[in-house]
Amino acid sequence: MSTTHEDRIIEIETRIAFQENIIEELNRTVTDQQQEILELKETISDVAVLMKECREALQSISNA
């Protein structure tokens, strides 16, 4: 059974459509992860500020 040119074209088009879907899914995943990274950076920054404030408060209590 030989594959016709039309069958090969259909197979290639199917593969391309599948790859396009995968690329779109990866794009969404990367975008979501980038947003999560930004949120985590903000959280880390907030925690760092709180730790600094706690450290300063403890030092001022110790010095009193």
pLDDT tens per residue, range 12-31: 999 999 999 999 999 999 99
* Encoded tokens for 54: 């706690």
Q: Which domain holds residue 20?
A: 1-64
Query: How many domains, in total, are found in the chain?
Result: 1
pLDDT value of position 2: 66
Per-residue pLDDT band for 8 (boundaries 50, 70, 90) equals: very high
Helix (H) or strand (E) holding 25: helix 5-63
Per-residue pLDDT band for 34 (boundaries 50, 70, 90) equals: very high
Which residues neighbour 11 within 8 Å (Cβ) at sequence distance 6 or greater? 3
Written as one letter, the residue type at 3 is T
CA distance 58 to 18: 59
pLDDT over 80 (residue 47): yes
pTM (2 d.p.): 0.71
